Chain A
Amino acid sequence: MQGNIACAEGALAAGCSFFGGYPITPSTEVAEHMARILPKKGGTFIQMEDELASISSIIGASWAGARSMTATSGPGFSLMMENIGYAVMTETPIVIVNIQRGGPSTGQPTMGAQGDMMQCRFGSHGDYSTIALVPSTVQEMFDLTAKAFNLADRFRCPVFLMSDEIIGHMREKVTIPEEVDIIRRRPLKEGKLPFEPEDDMIPGFPEFGKGYRVHVTGLTHDERGYPEATNCELHSELVTRLVNKIESKRHEIADYDIINPQAEIVFITYGPPGRAVRQLMHDYSDLEIGHLNLRIVWPFPEKVLKEFPNASKFIVPELNMGQMAREIQRHTSIEVESLPKIGGEMHTPDELFRAMGGDS
């Protein structure tokens, strides 16, 4: 099964009932598959006039109670930025799939890259926090898409599936489970104001049409949802909560693989470079190579770096100019070596081997 199809299947398995999209290489197969399957399942597929509209429509659908998602790539992702901020501010659960391609601008539509990792974290204006999942296999494409919906519903925030052309167009064997865990959003409790947080800092969801009569606005709002744009304390409180509701749970939701924690040299990867590391470990099975493969990159679970007590060097191969390497260096005093590669090709195991100081 192709990665993009696995992504769409994952969404369907998770109960996604609304897809608003716009064609863009290399993510189009997700939309095509959804267009084929969703109407048969009683859901709605709509091809909007641009990416601004597709993200708007899925936010609207989410408030109407649907599990909704869109899929795009770099240029479309850039267009979505404003409304990603809107989804953060209004605490709307949505899933955005970004099949990354080479940028900036139109760049390399048919080549893989991981250049949007910082954009998905900081792209929209203002302070906020998001959740980003990165698959490195087609199976994970399925699993993580399904998981993204649960995370979005739980945290009431946009959740990103930051895949790339390589995984998106890769064909691999996928095992589709008979049933996928579906944890739906928690409805607003009676007696609570529409935006009154519960103990976990997340308010219940006042779905449209259920009599909550909620006013949803992207302006700074109080717990009733009413705009209070000039109230400094309120704004500070609101934005701090929006960040902390996710950041405070970063270790709880962290999702990663650790291999050889006693190693001195440790590769930290997310997405396709992890595959090269796995090949390297296979080729040099006599070498002690540590590997940390992250499936949830944002929020970054920095405590996981402590799982490698003997590490003398972290090597971070990425298909960008070292976006996450900087984030990792921020959290550790151990040397972090960035191994950037752009242009659309993956790292080869040999390149990784040379980075370890080996002679091939």
Chain B
Amino acid sequence: MKSVEDWYRHDRMPHIFCTGCGNGTVINCTLEAVMQMGWDIDNTIFISGIGCSSRSPGYITTDSLHTTHGRALAFATGVKLAKPEFDVVVFTGDGDLSAIGGNHFIHACRRNINMTVICMNNMIYGMTGGQGSPCTPAGAISTTTPYGATEPVFDLARLAEASGANYSARWTAYHVKELTKAIKVGMEIPGFSFIEAMTQCPTSYGRRNKLRTTTSMLEYMRDNAVLLNKAKRMEAEGRELSPGRFTVGEFVKRFRPALGVVKDEE
């Protein structure tokens, strides 16, 4: 029987992630989805940029490209267009994707290039020690927002939708089953699939924001996640989402013409 175990580079384990880091969970969910898709190890390419999340491909025993900060999507575009038969998955983080790589992100969405992008949004720059990112919620303390973040955040899933991606969803590291399913649906859909996985960073985010333990961070995500349908209902009733809460669910699923799709030979 094929097992997820075949996909890990066991000689590199345990990985560098801190205790309780959500990235490992997202790797699990991704590989679970890959298993369900029945992809071939030698035909799957994992690509990442720089940051904690981007170290993930190093633990997966496929061909993988650990690139420069923010450019993962551009590298992935090259790989995919040179060999469209590859199954390409991009791991990225919130800083990597939305700050330094924001331009590549919206353009990859616009091109609707056939790949799956999984963004581990931990709301912080973890690798460099906890600086504020474009996804740090208002009021949160980071080393570069010592008096609380004041800038509005990026809603990445919505951004992907608006930029033209065929699939966009958001779940958290708590919702493992839903996340796995969303990743699988994303992999099935031709075109650009974006899955934002909110993850916990107890070391750099939780520690400074009264969420000291991993479990408390996960509880925070569980309690503040609002299903998209519920949010829509609330909106219809004229109730607003209280600050700090965020929506989860499937934002868009459509079948616009996409780039880099291999037509099935019949």
Contacts and interface: CB of A to CB of B under 8 A. Distances in A.
Given A49-B103, A52-B71, A227-B58, A64 B78 contact: yes
Interface string B50-78: 00000101100111111110110011111
B52 to A, nearest CB: 13
Nearest to B75: A60
Contacts of A213: 41-42, 61-63
A53 B77 contact: yes
Interface centre among B41, B58, B79 (most CB of A within 10 A): B79
Contacts of B78: 18, 20, 56-62, 64, 68
Interface of B is mostly: helix
B67 A17 contact: no
B100 to A, nearest CB: 9
A46 B58 contact: no
A63 interface: yes
B160 to A, nearest CB: 16
Nearest to A50: B103
A56 B79 contact: no
Interface residues of A, number: 41
A350 B48 CA distance: 56
Contacts of B64: 214-216
Contacts of A18: 78, 81-82
Contacts of A217: 58, 66
A210 interface: yes
Interface string A18-30: 1010000000000
Nearest to A67: B82
B207 to A, nearest CB: 24
Contacts of B119: none
Contacts of B62: 213
A86 interface: yes
B181 interface: no
Contacts of B103: 49-50, 53
Interface in B195-226: none
B82 A215 contact: no
Interface string A55-91: 0111111111110100000000000001100100000
Contacts, number: 126
Given A64-B82, A226-B12, A53 B68 contact: no
A187 interface: no
Contact of A209 (B42, B81, B107): B42
Interface string A201-238: 00000101111111111110000001100000000000
Interface in B15-43: 41-43
A311 interface: no
B232 interface: no
B124 interface: no
B47 interface: yes
A208 B64 CA distance: 8
A162 B70 CA distance: 27
Contact of A64 (B42, B55, B71, B86): B86
A213 B5 CA distance: 15
Interface centre among B43, B45, B77, B78 (most CB of A within 10 A): B78
B177 interface: no
A210 B42 contact: yes
Interface string A295-332: 00000000000000000000000000000000000000
Nearest to A85: B68
B175 interface: no
Contact of A49 (B42, B47, B76, B104): B104
A89 to B, nearest CB: 10
B83 interface: yes
A274 B9 CA distance: 55
Nearest to B60: A215
Contacts of A49: 74, 103-104, 107
A219 B12 CA distance: 15
Contact of A56 (B12, B55, B75): B75
A2 interface: no
Contacts of B43: 209
A108 interface: no
18 contacts: A18-B82, A20-B78, A49-B103, A53-B74, A53-B107, A60-B82, A61-B79, A63-B63, A68-B82, A82-B68, A208-B83, A209-B43, A209-B86, A211-B42, A215-B63, A218-B67, A226-B12, A227-B58
Given A68-B78, A215-B63, 15 more contacts: A18-B78, A53-B104, A56-B67, A59-B67, A60-B76, A60-B77, A61-B79, A63-B65, A64-B82, A66-B82, A83-B68, A83-B71, A208-B86, A209-B42, A218-B67
Interface of B: 9, 12, 41-43, 45, 47, 55, 57-58, 61-68, 70-71, 74-83, 85-86, 103-104, 107
The 9 closest A-B pairs by CB, nearest first: A60-B78, A57-B78, A56-B74, A61-B82, A53-B74, A64-B82, A217-B66, A60-B75, A61-B78
